[in-house]
A = this chain, B = another copy of it.
């Protein structure tokens, strides 16, 4: 991990971090205090590669969408056939928003206030009546770091040189390639804005200890033994459960590999830059997809010639999750807005050549599950406000949350004892 930068607001975190104990939830203030959120924004959220969307949202020249994160509005726009750019949505003249619609198509980026006009590459093209010594060249839109990788548009808000993208993600190439994400298209999108701190949204997603009580639809699509053993990361469950499930997993891996699927696991440590996780396993016996009846909702994705009853879970970072089965994938974007508000946006991706998608069938599982997650996460936030909230003990089924906390504190330079 790169050394954390010295930050002005380290002190409040430092005081809190000293109290953190491994295996226990964090102190109340980590989830409720504005100064902690500011520190999160400066030290973590603004320094990570975060998926802002899929290229299917900007297929044509001039297509754009806004990505709102913290107090920022970022314009993600296709400049030409081979280039997508990201610019801060702030006119260099008086600071007005330039794009006020959430998405659209434009020939130029023209500020609606005084009509300063920028090219799709962010260059200032027209500014009337400026003083003679005004330099258009010095007044291009502020650029946001952007990389497109197998169809996913990553942005990085760092005002310095960000962590190296390829060193971070190149090894994921074969897995993404197999699913054909570069050519995938969006079949459905839905928003689940959640009144909770971003860390609670992430922690909820990193464990399946809550699946049985909270997610009947989700559980119906998966073998119970897999949820216990692998629900929160490879071998995240109790040793006995892992041992019990491993033979079935190995058998599936061999079968899937024989059908051309790249098999592998990634399980980043707390000292990694992005805490990635990759795991693959089988869905419920006899099911071809994560749907109510197990039948496909769309055509097979990517390089598949037949279904393999498998499922890939890939976490690009705590902010970006991807779940993929044979015929569709779900992209989860967890986007912090302020201390008590996190945007949760889901995009269902299907094969680029799919022509008949059964949308209700496809979204049945994750739409319900995400509505449930919104509710339980908001109740979690509400309870933490009590003076009687105390850091609680994690179960053995929540190991990945403990790793997340170690990673979180490591971003500020603290090691969890």
Question: Residues on A close to B: CB < 8 A?
Answer: 23, 25, 28, 46, 71-73, 88-98, 100, 110, 112-115, 127-131, 134, 139, 142, 157, 159, 203, 209-210, 212-214, 237-238, 376, 379-380, 382-390, 392-393, 395-397
Contact = CB atoms under 8 A, between A and B. Distances in A.
Given A210-B114, A214-B112, A383 B90 contact: yes
Contacts of A157: 387
A380 B209 contact: no
Contacts of A396: 129-131
Contacts of A114: 209-210, 213, 395
B213 A115 contact: yes
B97 A382 contact: yes
Contacts of A90: 383-384, 386, 388-389
A393 B93 contact: yes
Most B CB within 10 A of own CB, among A28, A94, A97, A392: A94
B88 A386 contact: yes
Nearest to A71: B385
B129 A238 contact: yes
Contacts of A46: 387
Contacts of A393: 93, 130-131, 134, 139
B128 A94 contact: no
10 contacts: A90-B389, A91-B392, A92-B390, A95-B383, A96-B380, A114-B395, A129-B209, A129-B238, A131-B396, A134-B393
Contact of A379 (B71, B100, B397): B100
Contacts of A129: 209, 237-238, 395-397
A72 B386 contact: yes
A7 to B, nearest CB: 14
A142 to B, nearest CB: 4
Contacts of A159: 387
A380 B113 contact: yes
